[in-house]
Amino acid sequence: MLADAPAATATQAVGVGEREFAIAIYRPKVHRGKVKFNVRNLGEDVHDLVVTRKGKRVGALATIVKPGASATLRLTLKKTGAYRLICTVADHEARGMRATLRVVK
């Protein structure tokens, strides 16, 4: 918990759909606090998920996600602003597997 500012206390679920080659975020804006990314691979290749803010890695899935499989990533996003969700498998990011999640107060 942050002492200096209010943050969401309940975990906010964010659905993330991955496929070749795009990342769809079903909830593009959340409040600061706990976020649970429910990641589903809707494609035919393996994918992963890395979350960054201002170029710094905030967190990532521990494992790669196989086609048709799901994975969960729990993070506490303490700072407001734009977070990037990317897939770091091969050249997937350059091919379009990137999305933005906005975190507001």
Binding site for Cu ion (CB under 5 A): 47, 87, 89, 92, 97
When the beta carbons of 34 and 92 are compared against Cu ion, the nearer one is 92
When the beta carbons of 5 and 94 are compared against Cu ion, the nearer one is 94
State how beta strands 8-19 and 22-25 pair.
antiparallel
Q: Please state, in angstroms and rounded to a whole number, the distance separating the CA atoms of residues 7 and 90.
A: 36
Question: To the nearest whole angstrom, how small is the minimum distance from the Cβ of residue 2 to Cu ion?
Answer: 32
Question: To the nearest whole angstrom, how small is the minimum distance from the Cβ of residue 87 to Cu ion?
Answer: 3
Sheet holding 33-41, edge to edge: 22-25, 8-19, 33-41, 70-77
